[in-house]
Structure 1
Amino acid sequence: MKRPLNPSGAGLWLGLALLAGLSLALDALATFLAFGDTPRAWDGLWLVGQLLLVGSLLMLGLRWRELAPLARLAWGLLLAYSLLNAALAGWPWLQARWLGPAQPATLSLVDAGRTLQWRGAPAEGDTERLRAQLAQAPAVRQVDLQGSGGSLPEALRLAALLRERRLDTRASGPCQGPCAALFLAGARRQLLPEAQLAWQRLGAPSLNPLLHTWALSLQHTLWQGMGLSADFAQRALLTRAPRWWQAEETDLIAQGGLSQADYPLDLVLPEPSGAQPQEYLQALRSHRLWRLLDARLPGTLAQAQALLVQQHAGGDTAATQLALHQYALDRERHLLAGASVEMRYRFLDLQRERLQALNKNDADCRALLAGSAAVRRKLGAELARQESVWLEDAAVEPRPPAPSRHVVALDAEVLRKTWNRQGLGLLDRLAAANERQALDCAPAIRLIEEVRALQPAQRKPAQRRLFD
């Protein structure tokens, strides 16, 4: 026998209030589960709660006729709200637990088993797949990533595994959303020129606007926990799904999102033991300055790759970086030979600052003028940064027209009238090919200042004599 129901009693409204509170709590739990690596038992807790909520509302609905009009309205709204929220949160859960992705991520080995290629979106169970793959391939040192979308909680579990194994990561194509979490988990991180790291703001699986605000806060906390700044996370999360916000390489470098070597021209090199030539090429391609040098002087990357393969085989990373820097100075001479008057003027300014920084150490000054990378690497971070800026600007500036024969003949006449034979000899020693012919600190600085003080019509021939 049914118990009589008071259609307007306090007990009925208390029951509806409790069910409303349960609905809000389940919405909050679903939002938390969507943006965190939580124990899987919590999913079961949410499911049991939803069954209890909907079942209670349906049981109450069996006594529809006994409810007052206002109670009917409250019951109907609560049922509709609960069912819609259950669908919003339950469909992704159903896909992850039972349906799975339309195309599971593929894992394959390249570079003689040293690189694991990940292609696709993270999905439920991928962490165990990756763990099993790594157990069968102990030589893996790096994970090459491409993928868009997928399960963020599973991506966080995958990221934890990458950190546990201290594996490097490299993005070689679109790497969006959860894939970016995997990328940031790398011990060392490289971004190839065709890669796209992108983020988007995900909404809460709920109709409650307060939970959308909380979901945004959870995403801010998540990405900042991976090393991104609050400002970067805020900009990344301004773009709502399904659109993506792609980060610029310079932004990622400023964030520390990309691994950088100690010196601007240095590379993040693979472990020398068993390293493959392709790994060195990818290390070069992940460095913006080396890509620009190759675009201006074709063949630069191929020659640098051959140098790295030969030099790094001995296992001395410091000596390899020095040899690579020395090769960059050879590229610098080619840039100077085709540089504009303005770029040559900037180079002389920078060379003077280097000479002054050597503090009258004549041996180092002579080595610097002869093109010693070892001396350049002793000059400090600021001069290293200026060197990198000059190389980048020289690599991208428009090519100036080559001087005509008439100009070359006129240069000889201008130089003869501006400089005596001794002065021309000193000018040649400012760009000497070896240390024995190079100038000491004081005369070199003085000569650069004399060249800079010349009128443009006299300075251009002097620069062409130095650098052509």
Structure 2
Amino acid sequence: MPFAASVLSLGTATILGGYGFGNGSSEAFGYSFGFYLIPQIVVCAAFWLRLPSFAASTETRPRSASENHADKAEYQAPTVQVDANEHPECREGAGALAPKGVPEAPRPNLFARYWRGEFPLATSYWGVNFLVNLAVVSLISALTEVFSLEGGFEPNSLFWFLVLLWLGLLVLLMWQVVGLWRSARRHAQRQRQANKTTFWAGAARVAAVLGVLQTAGTFIKSGAPQIGELYKIAFEGDPDIPPSELKLLAGGTELSIFGGIKYGLSNDVERLLKVAPAVTTIHLTSSGGRIAEAGKLLKLIRSRALDTYVPNECSSACTLVFAAGSRRSLLEGAKLGFHGPSFPGLGDAELRHLTEEWAHLYREAGLRSEFVNKALAVSPKTVWYPSASELLEANAVTAVVTGDGFALSGHEVVPSLAAIEREMRAANRLIDALHTTYPDAARQIYTTTRQGILAAKPEAKLREDVNDLLTKAIVANLARADDDTLAQYAALMSDQYTALNAKDPALCFQYAALGASVQVTSAFPQELITVETILNERVLRSARDRPPMQPEESEAAWASIFQSMTSDEVEVFSLEPSSVAPERHAKYCQVTIAIFKSISHLETRQAAMLMREIFLDR
């Protein structure tokens, strides 16, 4: 029977261990039972090895006359020894031995009897311990399902659940170990009195010590880190994650979420959406946060069929919220960052289970499986930023946009003028040059930017306002630039008109006649835009009052230009722009190109003199 019980217990424990490893949310239980198998395997193997000697010792053989005589003597004076621990009914004063009329003493309950070690060793080890462990594993497995990603995340409840769970396990472990130890001690005493081996008692004690060490290791590895992290989330405001700010934009049609994704954020967003039902788009600027809270936001956004938009960076758990959008827009230059999930104290199997839940939500949003697998395989210690083309191909974003149609966002609070100044001077060399030469004009740009942020202007409109102010400052200072810059500007304008005339003669004419009031920058090749930016910076940095022009020098320089032109070209150039017929727009543009090219070939001082005259006449 002991051997059969050992085999049965070993097989059952193996099944439970396999179940534990297969259930991603119960990795610790599988590990516990896998570790619990070690002493059982040792005991089972040892018992198996002892079977031959046991059988040999009980094998029948002829008995001698002296042995038969001794047996008779023993029979004539029998001595019956009853273990009162295993048969409490035979204790003195109990049952039939008790005097009549005296009530039988109450028997202690099962828990008290086990605690005192009154059960036989086999019952304590194979019966009570194993069945109690089975009940505990079943209970905890059921409870942990309540706290899956799909079930939400309540850190206060989960913290107290884990604290009480580990306290309960500590009390239970103490009860099990003390009871088993006492039962083993009683068993060893009886075996020694009977001059028999105490192997099983020793094996049970070894198993008890291993169980204590294994439980302590599990607590240090999993329990303590999880309880510590949950305490910070529930009672310290989750200090490792930055705070978040919610802000309505664009007249209440857009909502910005800036900062970390902490517990409770989804409730705040839901309350705000109830008072602002016109919201159609969620702006996301976040380095991430709690996965379970991101899951709640995902459900909320998906239930309302809202769009999502990233103006700056959205990483880690934030990408899960972004994936909920019906339309997912990414600003040019903005980033999405991906990596696998993490939480202190989680084992490999639990992380695999959490990763599978996260991947399932991505796939439900329409992201390609290959992309999802690659994204979640990234270590939590790093971040993978896919390119815009990779994001579009994987359907992680539905569009990469310029920001037109979206309010400006990506700021935790409305920045101060000093902060705007630092940011804009660092990002734009033209603004830095303007601030150096004309700080008052630069401050007008900073003030306009801050007012636009306060008014939640669309980013494209705010950028347009800033560019208008910057262009006016450049145009106002063209004639005050140094000679070298103006001579090079003549060559630049010749190249710009050539590019425009080749693309659209009418547009070239408008630019030549109306100048900076016509927006033609998008029609220029990138190399010309770069050259113009460099020269405009030089204009702003070198701008200062210049000595007046001498009329004689100006007339002589223009005479040399006109001598190289035909009479027809001179006639076209002398016309007022409003009197130039459409069929002559291309000719007017060609003459303009020739003039600026001729100016660029003059001596530097003369070229600068003519360019100043042109700019002053505009």
**Superposition TM-score tier, normalisation by shorter sequence:** 0.5 to 0.7
- Which aligned pairs between 1:97-116 and structure 2 lie closer than 5 A? 99=235, 101=237, 114=252
Residue 520 (structure 2) aligns with: 376
The 2-side partners of 1:308 and 1:206 are apart by: 43
- Tell me if structure 1 keeps the 8 A contact 2:319–2:336: yes
Q: Does 1:420 align with 2:562?
A: yes
**Range with greater deviation from structure 2 (80-89 or 454-463):** 454-463
- Contact 1:291 1:301 (8 Å CA) reproduced: no
Distance across 1 between alignment mates of 2:353 and 2:597: 61
Quote how far apart the aligned CAs of 1:356 are: 0.7
Note if contact 2:490-2:600 (Cα within 8 Å) is conserved in structure 1: no
Cα deviation 1:413-442 (Å, max 9, x = unaligned): 994575236759979999x99665798335
Supply the distance in 2 between the matched residues of 1:429 and 1:140 (Cα, whole angstroms). 57
Distance 2:400 2:425 in 1: 12
C-alpha contact 1:261 1:268 (8 A) present in aligned 2: no
Q: Alignment partner for residue 542 of structure 2, among 391, 401, 426?
A: 401
Query: 2:215 matched to which residue of 1?
Result: 79
**8 Å CA contact retained: 2:490, 2:611:** no
Deviation at 1:203, TM superposition (A): 3.3
- After superposition, residues 69-218 of structure 1 pair within 5 angstroms as 75=211, 78-80=214-216, 82-83=218-219, 84-89=221-226, 92=229, 99=235, 101=237, 114=252, 121-138=260-277, 150-162=289-301, 164=304, 166=306, 177-178=316-317, 203-206=342-345, 208=347
1:186-224 C-alpha deviation (Å, 9 max, x unpaired): 768798x9x999877653544646776887898799889
Aligned partners of 2:530 and 2:309: how far apart in 1?
27
1:440: which partner in 2? 585
Letter in 2 for 1:39: G
Q: Is the 8 A contact 2:287 2:318 kept in 1?
A: yes
For the 8 Å contact 1:356–1:445, the answer to whether it is kept is no
Give me the TM-score of the superposition, normalised by structure 1.
0.56
User: Is the 1:308–1:324 contact (alpha carbons within 8 Å) kept by the matching residues of 2?
Assistant: no
Is the helix fraction higher in 1 or 2?
2
Answer whether contact 1:170 1:189 (CA < 8 A) is retained: yes
Q: Secondary structure at the match of 1:367?
A: helix
Partner of 2:150: 38
- Classify the secondary structure of the residue corresponding to 2:237: coil
- Superimposed CA distance per residue, residues 114-157 of structure 1 (whole angstroms, 9 cap, x where no aligned partner): 37675764344432332122212345577677776642221232
- The SS at the match of 1:420 is helix
Q: Indicate conservation of the 8 Å contact 2:224/2:345, yes or no.
A: no
Distance 1:76 1:348, change over 3 A: farther
* Cα distance in 1 for residues equivalent to 2:494 and 2:469: 20
Which residue does 1:349 correspond to in 2?
495
Shift in CA distance, 129/255, structure 1 to aligned 2, threshold 3 Å: same
Distance 2:314 2:170 in 1: 42
Q: Are the equivalent residues in 1 in contact too, given 2:27–2:350 (CA < 8 A)?
A: no
- Is contact 2:257-2:284 (8 Å) kept? yes
**Given residue 510 of structure 2, which amino acid in structure 1 is its aligned partner?**
A
CA offsets, 1:227-278, max 9 Å, x none?
89969x86996672xxx8798xx9789968898656xxx744559xxxxxx9
Gaps of 5+ in 1: 272-277
Q: 1-side partners of 2:389 and 2:571: how far apart? A: 40
The change in CA–CA distance for 1:60 and 1:389 in structure 2 (over 3 A counts) is farther
Within 2, Cα distance between the matches of 1:306 and 1:460?
43
Contact 1:366 1:436 in 2 (8 A): no
Q: Within 5 A, what are the aligned runs for 1:167-316?
A: 177-178=316-317, 203-206=342-345, 208=347, 240=381, 267-270=404-407, 292=428, 294-297=431-434, 298=442, 299-300=444-445
2:508 equivalent in structure 1 = 365
User: Could you tell me which amino acid in structure 1 is paired with residue 511 of structure 2?
Assistant: L
With the length of structure 2 as denominator, give the TM-score of the two structures. Answer: 0.46
Counterpart residue identity of residue 126, structure 1:
L
* Alpha-carbon distance in structure 1 between the residues aligned to 2:565 and 2:376: 57
Q: Distance in 2 between the 1:300 and 1:203 partners?
A: 44
Conserved in 1, the CA contact under 8 Å of 2:246 and 2:255?
yes
Task: Name the amino acid aligned to 2:306.
Answer: R
TM-aligned CA deviation for residue 330 of structure 1: 4.9
| C-alpha RMSD of the superposition | 6.9
Tell me the SS of whatever aligns to 1:203: coil
What CA distance in whole angstroms lies between the structure 2 residues aligned with 1:111 and 1:78? 55
| Shift in Å, 1:55 | 9.3
Provide the C-alpha distance between the structure 1 equivalents of 2:351 and 2:539, rounded to a whole number of angstroms: 50
8 Å Cα contact 2:337/2:384 also seen in 1: yes
Does structure 2 conserve the Cα–Cα contact (< 8 Å) formed by 1:415 and 1:458? no
Distance (Å, rounded) in 2 between the aligned partners of 1:190 and 1:288: 22
CA distance in 2 between partners of 1:76 and 1:411 (Å): 102
Larger radius of gyration: 2
